[in-house]
Amino acid sequence: MGKLVIVGTVAFDEIETPFGKTDKILGGAGTFIGLAASQFDVDSAIVSIVGDDLPQEYLDLLSNKGIDLNGLEIVKGGKTFYWKGKYHNDLNSRDTLVTELNTLADFNPVVPDNYTNADVVMLGNLHPAVQLSVINQMTERPKLIVLDTMNFWMDSALDDLKEVIKHIDVITINDEEARQLTEEYSLVKAAQEIHKMGPKFVVIKKGEHGALLFHNENVFFAPALPLEEVFDPTGAGDTFAGGFTGYLAATGDISFENMKRAVIHGSNLASFCVERFGTVRMESLTKDEVHERLHQFKALTQFEIELK
């Protein structure tokens, strides 16, 4: 069993989609990553910060999935990071209506002692300086460091972002962000440019259009499962990252062949995440359901052509 340390927000989300709206519910990159990774045989810990306004039941939910919360700081009298957003009709774009950093503004992540030797580090979307500080706390070079980021940090903290990117093995980034970071429209060229910045592996997420894994001259593609209805895309990218790193930590194999499987597992879990609001679907997800949908992924993508 591998050890996975996850750094990312545990948050209140308030979401409106064409299908309805929520009150404040459990969200955050760390939450979605942790829930997805918990589908695998892995010891995981979330490093994050919340206020004491976060309901105990949310913490229990994560603990009950076997996630170590010793690295989750609870600030007495503090308020938890809060994001409110509204999706457009096509669900491919959204407006952020409210962002309250609250306790996150003063987040100094502390990796629990028994996780400073983790096999895999998953750096969820946060200020790149925070991500770097986590890397620096590791007492042994992890087998794999994976980083997720977004355009916000390219606009506001590009130098910090470029610095942390030097120290990681895998970056997960969406197509528009890859283009912004590299000023290359072609995703093949963008991946080549990102390789030069440090990461040996580049995962470009294309939302409903799937995900590409690049490693030097090798490319692998996993589609998103075509669904009758996408209900709420919130957390899909983080769920992908959680499935990806959870599988790699559980198997301990970071070959390209195994990373292909990790991309499939990540896509598979993300296909569940979007079926309900927030974390609802991931909370109840069973191994049998996951397994059955992997069969669908195989049917969707596998073919036989005789080649010399």
* Chain residues that interact with a copy of itself, rule: CB under 8 A: 89-90, 185-189, 206, 209-210, 212, 218-221, 223, 226-230, 257, 260-261, 264, 291, 294-295, 298-305, 307-308
Q: Which is nearer to a copy of itself, 70 or 301 (CB)?
A: 301
Q: Which is nearer to a copy of itself, 99 or 186 (CB)?
A: 186
Q: Which is nearer to a copy of itself, 89 or 136 (CB)?
A: 89
H/E element, 171: strand 170-174
Please count the other Cβ atoms lying within 10 Å of the Cβ belonging to residue 169: 18
- Shortest CB 141 distance to a copy of itself, Å: 28
- Shortest CB 273 distance to a copy of itself, Å: 17
Q: Which is nearer to a copy of itself, 132 or 187 (CB)?
A: 187
* Residue 145 one-letter amino acid: I
DSSP state letter for 199: -
For 259, list phi and psi in degrees, rounded to 5: -65, -30
- Shortest CB 251 distance to a copy of itself, Å: 11
Token pair, residue 93, equals 């774009």
HEC per residue, 210-243: CEEEEECCEEEEECCCCCCCCCCCCCHHHHHHHH
Q: Angle at which helices 175-182 and 187-197 pack, to 10 degrees? A: 60
For residues 275 and 279, what is the distance between their CA atoms, to the nearest angstrom?
10
- Shortest CB 291 distance to a copy of itself, Å: 7
- Shortest CB 228 distance to a copy of itself, Å: 5
Q: Which is nearer to a copy of itself, 3 or 293 (CB)?
A: 293
Please count the other Cβ atoms lying within 10 Å of the Cβ belonging to residue 229: 8
Q: Which is nearer to a copy of itself, 166 or 298 (CB)?
A: 298
- Shortest CB 144 distance to a copy of itself, Å: 19
